[in-house]
């Protein structure tokens, strides 16, 4: 886990007035010493749910940079299962295998970053920069996450609550949803049970600082716009795709499959009024859903905007090769005033395959296309390809493109527009002609919390996790009984220092108990690894802080009861019999 250097001061705020008040009280406590979507499989979906308890694993740590990099001890290699018991044995593999990018790449650009970002708890992101830029420039942006109400909210859910609230405070449109259709179809929950747990989730969200007057709360089962969008998205997905991603088979019921496209509709719902950068805060096990939603967002677009060099189509690898030789070759070398397709073909035929650094099949395909085009000039242009545009939209795009252009049956080539302006124009024409114009949704990823008893949190092992509804005394006792990263004896601890990177109790400080105070979190860490802090005193302090947090949170839950009653969300499902 990343801990800032002591001289670095916290920037900005965290989630809500309750958290700030708690941080002030925590500071008075005396300091005692002594974790292509079609490549994935998984049976079910939730943005965040009780299954997180079963999925959260213990860290495998690196001392360099004081950052935790691991999931459950003994976990298999990375397998992202949205509904199963996914564990992440090495978070670094997510960057290599699934294309998740490091959050540190964008952290310096984030305005007033939340402490979960600063400490590396939020470790990864997918295309988050458009959201950051919108927040920087006070432009439209949105945040959305959902909760499947299958049990009580716990401290793992608080991570997502805080992420939603922080984005709302930074100016983003905030959406929080209850995934009740999925709870019923995939988990078999009764509507009475769903209503009870949904209310509890919403109370905790409001207690932590979510503003229902400036945000959007809804449940899937009563949001007709989401259901209609799910129907549209379903036309762009197919069973074989779901089979590859989620392992669906002939025994999978239709309502379960429908719940997946409903989740995709949830992710894109914030863009129904207007396309805008939207971030989905999730654990890494939910990444297959994010990738599918990004894919469906692209499939719903009227036009694909790309760079082309001739009238024919090239795939990405072929385009990169042609672009390279377009830059390197001079038409004068061929006694011509323009570089032509045949010129590049001749050069490629004379260049050894090893120097091209491509497969022979790619070279054969490129040569065939170039030779067939012959004397056609090779010129960079922006291509607008017709995906699912109406005739009126296609004609409107032709009229809107200024400068030189060439119109073909299924695409338009424009020579006097750059890529960014082309993307904006295509989206504008689409929206003006009844399309969605979706921007691919972004995502940020937080680490799984370690169970208090070591290994994974489990709903079947109450001592391994803390519910936000736990009696404060019970919360105190759970922390006091927690596994630590301490040495065998106090003497060895003083001599060698504790293993804070392997300690569930230290995680509580970093994820929750230290609040916005990075200096305090770092001091706990340094005292532990330096041998000054012994586990008994450390757990006593953490237990007291947890007791205070739970008491204050539950008091705040009671205070927001009336606020929830006034919120624009159905607290009792009309589907109850």
Query: Which one of 3.40.630.10, 3.40.50.300, 3.50.50.60, 3.40.50.620 gives the CATH number of domain 1-296+437-577?
Result: 3.40.50.620
Query: What's the rounded mean pLDDT across residues 145-173?
Result: 95
pLDDT value at 548 more than 80? yes
pLDDT value at 42 more than 80? no
Give this prediction's pTM: 0.83
pLDDT value at 361 more than 50? yes
Q: Which of 499, 463, 458 is nearest to 478 (CA)?
A: 463
What pLDDT shows up at residue 83? Answer: 40
Bridge-based pairing of strands 278-282 and 442-446 is parallel
**Lowest-pLDDT range of 144-153, 184-193, 226-235, 303-312:** 184-193
| Helix (H), strand (E) at residue 225 | helix 224-234
Share of the chain above pLDDT 90, in %: 70
pLDDT value at 469 more than 60? yes
Output the average pLDDT for the chain: 85
Which sequence spans correspond to the domains of the chain? 1-296+437-577, 304-432
What pLDDT shows up at residue 96? Answer: 75
Q: Environment class of residue 558 by beta-carbon count within 10 Å: exposed (0-12), middle (13-18) or buried (19+)?
A: exposed
As given in the structure block, the two tokens for residue 448 are 């799984």
**155-169 helix and 16-27 helix, angle to the nearest 10 degrees:** 110
Confidence band, pLDDT 50/70/90 cuts, at residue 255: confident
Confidence band, pLDDT 50/70/90 cuts, at residue 358: very high
At 111-125, the pLDDT tens digits run: 999 999 999 999 999
- Yes or no: say if 158 and 44 are a contact pair by the CB < 8 Å rule: no
Who has greater pLDDT, 402 or 81? 402
pLDDT value at 2 more than 70? no
Q: How far is CA 286 from CA 60, 317, 446, 447, 483, in A?
A: 21, 29, 11, 12, 28
pLDDT value at 532 more than 90? yes
269: left (phi over 0), alpha (psi -120 to 50) or beta: alpha
What pLDDT shows up at residue 29? Answer: 38
Q: Which of 145, 103, 148 is nearest to 128 (CA)?
A: 103
What pLDDT shows up at residue 24? Answer: 40
Cβ neighbors of 277 (< 8 A, separation 6 or more) are 130, 131, 133, 134, 140, 141, 142, 439, 442
As given in the structure block, the two tokens for residue 26 are 């925590």
What pLDDT shows up at residue 92? Answer: 75
Query: What's the rounded mean pLDDT across residues 151-166?
Result: 94
- Yes or no: say if 63 and 3 are a contact pair by the CB < 8 Å rule: no
Confidence band, pLDDT 50/70/90 cuts, at residue 71: very low
At 369-395, the pLDDT tens digits run: 999 999 999 999 999 999 999 999 999
pLDDT value at 55 more than 50? no
As given in the structure block, the two tokens for residue 282 are 């999730």
Most confident option among 53-57, 484-488, 511-515: 511-515
What pLDDT shows up at residue 463? Answer: 86
Cβ neighbors of 484 (< 8 A, separation 6 or more) are 498, 503, 504, 505, 535, 538, 539
As given in the structure block, the two tokens for residue 516 are 């916005």
Cβ neighbors of 380 (< 8 A, separation 6 or more) are 307, 308, 309, 323, 326
pLDDT value at 200 more than 60? yes
Cα–Cα distance for residue pair 534/491, rounded to 1 Å:
10
Residue 460 CB coordination number (10 Å): 7
Compute φ and ψ for 143, nearest 5 degrees: -130, 140
């Amino acid at each position: 886990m990343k801990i800032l250097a002591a001289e670095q001061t916290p920037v900005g705020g965290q989630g809500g007035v309750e958290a700030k008040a708690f941080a002030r009280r925590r500071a008075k406590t005396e300091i005692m010493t002594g974790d292509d979507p079609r490549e994935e499989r998984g049976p079910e979906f939730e943005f965040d749910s009780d299954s997180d308890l079963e999925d959260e694993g213990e860290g495998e740590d690196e001392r360099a940079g004081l950052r935790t990099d691991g999931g459950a001890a003994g976990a298999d290699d990375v397998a992202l299962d949205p509904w199963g018991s996914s564990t992440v044995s090495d978070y670094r593999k997510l960057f290599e295998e699934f294309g998740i990018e490091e959050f540190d790449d964008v952290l310096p650009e984030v305005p007033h970053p939340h402490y979960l970002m600063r400490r590396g708890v939020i470790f990864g992101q997918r295309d988050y920069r458009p959201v950051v830029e919108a927040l920087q420039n006070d432009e439209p942006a949105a945040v959305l996450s959902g909760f499947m109400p299958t049990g009580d909210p716990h401290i793992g859910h608080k991570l997502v609550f805080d992420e939603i609230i922080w984005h709302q405070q930074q100016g983003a449109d905030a959406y929080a949803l209850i995934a009740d259709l999925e709870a019923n179809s995939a988990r078999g929950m009764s509507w009475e049970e769903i209503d009870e747990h949904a209310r509890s989730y919403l109370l905790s969200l409001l207690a932590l600082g979510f503003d229902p007057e400036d945000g959007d709360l809804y449940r899937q089962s009563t949001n007709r716009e989401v259901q209609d969008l799910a129907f549209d998205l379903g036309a762009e997905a197919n069973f074989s795709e779901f089979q590859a991603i989620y392992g669906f088979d002939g025994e999978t019921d239709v309502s379960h499959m429908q719940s997946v496209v409903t989740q995709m509709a949830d992710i894109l719902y914030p863009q129904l009024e207007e396309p805008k950068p939207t971030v989905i805060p999730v654990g890494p096990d939910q990444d297959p859903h994010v990738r599918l939603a990004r894919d469906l967002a692209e499939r719903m677009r009227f036009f694909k905007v790309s760079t082309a060099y001739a009238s024919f189509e090239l795939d990405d690898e072929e385009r990169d090769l042609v672009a390279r030789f377009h830059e390197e070759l001079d038409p004068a070398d061929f006694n011509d005033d323009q570089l032509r397709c045949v010129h590049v073909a001749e050069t490629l035929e004379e260049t050894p395959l090893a120097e091209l650094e491509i497969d022979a099949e790619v070279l054969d395909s490129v040569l065939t296309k170039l030779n067939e085009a012959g004397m056609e000039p090779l010129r960079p242009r922006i291509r607008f390809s017709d995906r699912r545009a109406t005739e009126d939209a296609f004609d409107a795009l032709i009229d809107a493109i200024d400068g030189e252009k060439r119109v073909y049956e299924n695409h338009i080539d424009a020579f006097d527009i750059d890529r960014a302006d082309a993307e904006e124009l295509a989206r504008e024409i689409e929206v003006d002609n009844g399309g969605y114009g979706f921007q691919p949704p972004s995502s940020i990823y937080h680490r799984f919390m370690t169970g208090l008893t070591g290994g994974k949190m489990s709903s079947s092992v109450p001592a391994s996790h803390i519910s936000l509804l736990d009696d404060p005394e019970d919360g105190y006792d759970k922390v006091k009984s927690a596994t630590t990263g301490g040495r065998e004896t106090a003497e060895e601890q003083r001599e060698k220092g504790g293993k804070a990177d392997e300690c569930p109790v230290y995680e509580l400080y970093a994820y929750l108990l230290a609040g916005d105070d990075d200096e305090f979190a770092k001091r706990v860490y340094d005292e532990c690894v330096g041998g000054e802090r012994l586990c008994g005193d450390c757990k006593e302090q953490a237990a007291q802080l947890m007791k205070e947090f739970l008491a204050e949170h539950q008091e705040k839950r009671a205070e927001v009861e009336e606020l929830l009653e006034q919120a624009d969300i159905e607290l009792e499902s009309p589907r109850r019999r």
